[in-house]
Amino acid sequence: MDIRRPPPRSSSGGVEPRFRQVGFVTSAEPEAEPAPAASPPAPDGLSTGARSPVMIPPPLIPDHLHAPVPVPVPAPASESQSFMPSSPPPASSSRLEAASDLDDDDDVDVSWARPPPPALPEPYKRYLTEKKNEDAPASFSQKPKLSRAERRATQEAQRAAKAAAKEAGLKSTAMASDVNTKLSKQPKTAKTSLKKDMTQVNPPVASDKKTSVHPPDKDRKKDGPQPRMQFDNAHRVVKAKKRSIVNQSEAQNRVELFRHLPQYAHGTQLPDLESKFFQPDLMHPSVYKVGLQYLSGNISGGNARCIAMLLAFREAINDYSTPAEKILSRDLTAKISSFVSFLIECRPLSISMGNAIRFLKNRITKLPLTLSESEAKASLQSDVDRFINEKIIVADKVIVSHAVTKIRDDDVLLTYGSPSVIEMIFDHAHEIGKRFRVVVVDSRPNLEGQGLLRRLVAKGISCTYTHINAVSYIMHEATRVFLGASSVLSNGTVYSRAGTASVAMVAHAFGVPVLVCCEAYKFHERVQLDSICSNELGDPDAISRVPGGKSSSHLKNWADNENFHLLNLKYDITPSDYVSMLITDYGMLPPTSVPVIVREYRREHFIACTIDLLHWHGLLNHLGQSELPASKDCCFDTEQTPHMCADAKSKAFSALDMCSSPKGRGEPQHCCRLATPMGTLIPGSLQPDGPSTSPFSELSENVVRN
Amino acid sequence: MDFQVVVLAGGTSEKLSPLVSKDVPKALLPVANRPLLSYALDLLEASDLKDLIVVVEGQEAAQLVGAWVSSAYLDRLRVEVVAVSEDLGSAGALRAISKRLTANDILVISGDLVTDVLPGAVAATHRRNGAAVTALLCSVPVSGPSDSASSSGKDKAKKPNRLNIVVLDKTKHFLLHIVSGTDVEKDVRVHKRKIQAVGQMEIRSDLMDAHLYAFKRTILQDILEQKEAYRSIRLEVLPHLVRSQLRSDPSGNGTTVEETGNNAVLSSGNLQCLAQHRVIAPSAFNQDVLSRSRGGHRCCAYIATKSKYCHRLNSIQSYCDINRDVIGEASHLSGYSFSAQNNIIHPSSVLGSKTTIGPHCILAEGSQLGDKCSVKRSVIGRHCRIGSSVKIVNSVVMNHVVIEDGCHIQGSVVCNNVQLQERAVLKDCQIGAGYIVTTGSEHKAESLARK
């Protein structure tokens, strides 16, 4: 680039002034750009200006043009114009090349070096829109052939315009096109036109932003469970505030990196919620109660929160009656959604709760229309009970029975915080007479470990209590590390209480096996590489309060100091490298097997769908619109066993087989088109893939290193 | 929200004897020219509690209250005024209407409470903690606990003995022990079990029971049935609940998650128990105490912050205090809009020349004042006729009172239709309805009423 740079500079009077001017002027508005340039480009260094940080693609073309044409050839501008639109959109590889080229450049800003990957399409689009803008003046200026003197005049005008803009305190300057048109005009007029152009420029930028934000949102809605709200997007925050029940004011000084996460001034929500306590039809009482308990921290811990929520929903369903002219499945889903959004306002949902909600909503939408209201309610309530029982309580039991096998006599077990399942494991191991010692590692501000410690000591288990800053010291003694998890993501990453990662890493360094216990309903297909993008912020005051003496109240009025931020992160992620083994209700597995569980687990939902699908088909059949003699019986048969037992599963598949067999008259496509509750289903996906009769057999063989 | 509200409006209280009479039951006693009950009803209305049961002692009083409520709150509230026989006490009154209670939780509010603490806050605390009873505690008024008699002079030495003792846990959510003023002896006995369970407790004497409770209905009805002798909620029912909260037998199974897990079929109760697993901060209660949620219950407290106004009108002293506060520092409670001079003078009232009405005064409609009068920090009711050169300081003058020239009234309460003849001087007196104070008489710290 250094070599290449002089030619443009020397040819600044040469080939295609419009290009460079386009590039220059747009880039010369550093503040208007998303990524700020450190210094305004030198007035004569037009090409350096053209490589302003944001405009990645635009300068690309000049570069391409320059390379083959090093000598200023007085080519007609029209040629370059005609070339440019016809040129294929620059391949990403070439763009990267250019970027890396520029990377080497000494003069280039640091911000150059790391163009945010998702932003890449944006400048390109922007480039396109700008190109459109540029088209008109280009064709216009094509007529007068520019002499050298005129070009110099152009430059002078530009310089003057810039100076004027600076003087006027205008942070942003404008497009080249107008400078082109107003070649020999006075700076003043140029300035006014600059303003005019600014208004022109800004809208496309804004619209670009929108378009760049929206498509990923849509995608996420399809794939992910909940599109997370980004709380640094002021527009959306305002929108969300309008709908919210809890009147929240956001905390003032928040840490920059975590602005996308919600953080509210603590202590304002509860009184507000209390004052609205008796407002009629606000929320179902039990849901309200759970929300209050979340808000005040009375209920914490993944399982407890999830169970409390489900029980509240269960009660709400019990008291529910369908309004006139509404369908239960639709109306109840909307109702549940409103409950959920209320709960989110009280405290962000955990991933496990998201899974549970998804399950419940799925069950609601899959309710057969033939069911009466009371039957539907009873079925939903039993579904909720089943979920709690199977996915949490029995799952915990299974985990305990697995984990206990990993505890030997004279073990020293280290745990962090107060995970409920770990406590059960210790209790059970103690009950069956294993001799072991427990090291409870704790951390501020919650000091949950103290509760665990108290309960363990009360049961007669010998314990050691320490804080996390001593973990490297105490790790010598430990022979096993048992950790709980809020969620396990599909790349094996463990999402858990902040501090877990440190404990796991220290254990890894010391060669102590790390066993993470987590119910499978907490698994999630999301992949997360850092704990920044998705996390929860706690009350910052909680860490500013230091117990003991007045001398430690240095952080008393921290909120008044705008240079000071407190960060109370609730979760962190532990890379799967540091996890020796995952103990779940499906057995003990390496963290790499999480995707399998997630897939199988999803399939359970999925089979539920297929059964309902078949039911639909049967219904249709019943109406006489279609005939499906082979699978009819099966359809209703499976319908009668809504439980997701293996039995029903096999039945479902056998029914499917019949369905999809070429002899059967009802083809899978047929029901797919019918399957409104399912959305769009690809017929092929109905095929059970692989030996699915015992989906976990492969897993159970998946013996874990220990 | 599944709450039922019971307002205990009382009857004709003995304590307020010259002020309250057959014609003016306690509920209708004017405070800043509004019936006392209206403060409680307005508070409830502001919290969207529109279905109320108002319990009044005595048929006649109930009729009066019912007539007033139906005229004043015709379209705003659905109030059911229930008359119970007199001298039942607050617990007895609740027992009498216990058949009407159907909701899960009952909010019991005393009709003589003048406060701006939101009932929703108490109810929310109650719900959040799943408590058997939640009591509103407020700080003791500056003028001493309202239990102390009105003629305070000599009682002042005894005041320390008349404190309420409230024992709270460390988180200030749970009520562990409560002894009301009259029962306080030299020693306060706190059961060892409680100390063992909690580890750390906070004993306070600067709090008093504001007589606003949220009860769990089943527990309340059980107690009312079993303990038929109980007459007062504050003195008997609440202490009983508080006492019995840790009484369930210690062997009563540590119902922890493991146990529930062992049951193949889970009853809903067990699920609830699991959900409440560590509902209370572990630092507050030991595990075994916590898990005894089946047998035991929890008594919670909601402590009103200092900035909130919370007073009960149960003595003449408190009547004067509340009158003063409602037109003074807690003027937002009165519902009136004060003028720039911080007072309210009804446009229909007539003032003589050189008559001054100071700040924190209310002059109601139709009252006339002669020349050179001076009114400071006082409430004057409707259609009073006040002569010249009258001084009224720190007093309450009710409706249709005639005060002739040259009277001095200080720190007194003058009831309806009283006639003060010329140059009467009253200091710290209570004049019952219809009484006639003769010319030139001087009274100090007396309670005068028509025989």
Question: In terms of DSSP H, where are the helices of A284-409?
Answer: 285-296, 302-318, 328-346, 351-365, 373-386, 395-404
Nearest to A298 among B49, B271, B279 (CB): B279
Interchain contact, B120 vs A275, CB within 8 Å: yes
Give the whole-angstrom CA distance, residue A431 versus residue A211: 60
H or E stretch including A122? helix A121-141
Set of chain A residues whose Cβ sits within 8 Å of the Cβ of B276: 299, 304
Nearest to A396 among B261, B271, B280 (CB): B261
Q: How far does B346 lie from chain A, in Å, by closest CA? A: 33
The pLDDT of B121-146, averaged and rounded, is 77
User: Token pair of B434, please?
Assistant: 């219809």
Closest residue in chain B to residue A291, using alpha carbons only? B128
Q: Which residue has the higher pLDDT, B172 or B439?
A: B439
Closest residue in chain B to residue A315, using alpha carbons only? B268
Handedness of CA A123, A128, A129, A130 (dihedral sign): positive
Interchain contact, A278 vs B48, CB within 8 Å: yes
Interchain contact, A278 vs B47, CB within 8 Å: yes
Task: Label residue A155 by pLDDT band (50, 70, 90).
Answer: confident
Contacts of A56 by beta carbon, 8 Å cutoff, 6+ apart: A95, A98, A99, A115, A120, A123, A124
Residue A296, chain B, CB below 8 Å: the answer is yes
Q: In what order do the strands lie in the sheet with B165-169?
A: B175-179, B165-169, B201-204
The pLDDT of residue A455: 84
Closest residue in chain B to residue A306, using alpha carbons only? B275
Helices vs. strands in chain B: H and E counts, helices first: 11, 32
pLDDT at A422 over 50: yes
Q: How far does A452 lie from chain B, in Å, by closest CA? A: 8
Residue A171 CB coordination number (10 Å): 12
Task: Label residue A267 by pLDDT band (50, 70, 90).
Answer: low
Q: How far does A457 lie from chain B, in Å, by closest CA? A: 11
Set of chain A residues whose Cβ sits within 8 Å of the Cβ of B282: 418, 448, 450-452, 454-455
Interchain contact, A450 vs B124, CB within 8 Å: no
Residue B68 CB coordination number (10 Å): 17
The pLDDT of A81-109, averaged and rounded, is 42
Residue A394, chain B, CB below 8 Å: the answer is yes
Give A 403-432 residues with CB within 8 A of chain B. 418, 420, 424, 427-428
Set of chain B residues whose Cβ sits within 8 Å of the Cβ of A458: 286-288
Mutation target for B interface from A277, A319, A427, A428: give the one with most B CBs within 10 A: A277
Interchain contact, A311 vs B287, CB within 8 Å: no
The pLDDT of residue A167: 58
Q: Which residue has the tokens 């083809």?
A: A667
Q: How far does B3 lie from chain A, in Å, by closest CA? A: 8
Task: Label residue A686 by pLDDT band (50, 70, 90).
Answer: very low
pLDDT at A652 over 60: no
The pLDDT of residue A163: 67
Compute the mean pLDDT over every residue in chain B, rounded to the nearest whole number: 77
Q: Minimum mean pLDDT among A672-676, B71-75, B376-380: which range? A: A672-676
Give the residue numbers in B contacting A (CB under 8 Å), as ranges: 1-3, 47-49, 104, 118-121, 123-125, 127-129, 256-258, 260-261, 266, 271-272, 274-283, 286-288
DSSP SS3 for B70: helix
Q: Which residue has the higher pLDDT, B41 or A141?
A: B41
Q: Minimum mean pLDDT among B76-90, B162-176, B377-391: which range? A: B162-176
Give A 181-240 residues with CB within 8 A of chain B. none
Mutation target for A interface from B1, B105, B289: give the one with most A CBs within 10 A: B1
pLDDT at A53 over 60: no
Is the separation of the CB atoms in A573 and A501 below 8 Å? yes
pTM of the model: 0.64
Set of chain B residues whose Cβ sits within 8 Å of the Cβ of A384: none
Give A 250-279 residues with CB within 8 A of chain B. 270-271, 273-279
Handedness of CA A330, A332, A334, A337 (dihedral sign): negative
Give the whole-angstrom CA distance, residue A703 versus residue A684: 32
Is the separation of the CB atoms in A510 and A523 below 8 Å? no
Q: How far does B391 lie from chain A, in Å, by closest CA? A: 43
Give A 368-387 residues with CB within 8 A of chain B. 385
Which tens digit of pLDDT belongs to each residue from B309-339?
888 888 888 888 888 888 887 777 777 777 7
Set of chain A residues whose Cβ sits within 8 Å of the Cβ of B48: 278-280
Q: How far does B288 lie from chain A, in Å, by closest CA? A: 9
Q: How far does A376 lie from chain B, in Å, by closest CA? A: 19
Q: How many CA atoms lie within 13 A of B436 on its CB side?
A: 3
Residues above pLDDT 70, as percent of chain A: 49
Residue A450, chain B, CB below 8 Å: the answer is yes
pLDDT at B382 over 80: yes
Chain pair A-B, CB pairs under 8 angstroms: 116
Is the separation of the CB atoms in A369 and A322 below 8 Å? no
Q: Which residue has the higher pLDDT, A286 or A122?
A: A286
Handedness of CA A291, A297, A303, A307 (dihedral sign): negative
The pLDDT of residue A500: 93
Task: Label residue A298 by pLDDT band (50, 70, 90).
Answer: confident
Give A 44-63 residues with CB within 8 A of chain B. none
Residue A228 CB coordination number (10 Å): 14
Q: Which residue has the tokens 């202590």?
A: A267
Which tens digit of pLDDT belongs to each residue from A567-622?
888 899 999 999 999 999 888 889 888 888 888 766 555 444 444 444 444 444 44
Q: How far does A440 lie from chain B, in Å, by closest CA? A: 15
Could you write out the DSSP letters of every residue in A47-110?
HHHHT-SS-SHHHHHHHHHHTT--S-----HHHHHHHHHHSPPPPHHHHHHHHHHHHH-SSS-H
The pLDDT of residue A507: 94
Interchain contact, B266 vs A393, CB within 8 Å: yes
Is the separation of the CB atoms in B252 and B294 below 8 Å? yes
Residue A393, chain B, CB below 8 Å: the answer is yes
Question: In terms of DSSP H, where are the helices of A168-301?
Answer: 176-181, 187-223, 234-243, 269-275, 285-296
Please return the burial class of B26, using the count of CB atoms within 10 Å of its CB with bins 0-12, 13-18 and 19+. Answer: buried
Residue A389, chain B, CB below 8 Å: the answer is yes
Residue A285, chain B, CB below 8 Å: the answer is yes
Q: Which of A427-431, A646-650, B260-264 has the highest mean pLDDT?
A: A427-431
Closest residue in chain B to residue A270, using alpha carbons only? B121
Q: Minimum mean pLDDT among A41-55, A222-236, A502-516, B327-341: which range? A: A41-55
Give A 570-609 residues with CB within 8 A of chain B. none
pLDDT at A441 over 90: yes
Mutation target for A interface from B77, B170, B257: give the one with most A CBs within 10 A: B257
Compute the mean pLDDT over every residue in chain A, rounded to the nearest whole number: 65
Q: Minimum mean pLDDT among A56-65, B103-112, B193-202, B361-370: which range? A: A56-65
Which tens digit of pLDDT belongs to each residue from A156-166?
777 777 766 66
Task: Label residue B70 by pLDDT band (50, 70, 90).
Answer: confident
How far does Cα B392 stand from its chain's mean position?
28
Interchain contact, A278 vs B271, CB within 8 Å: no
- Which residue from B178, B276, B192 is spatially nearest to B233, judged by alpha carbons? B178
The pLDDT of residue A48: 40
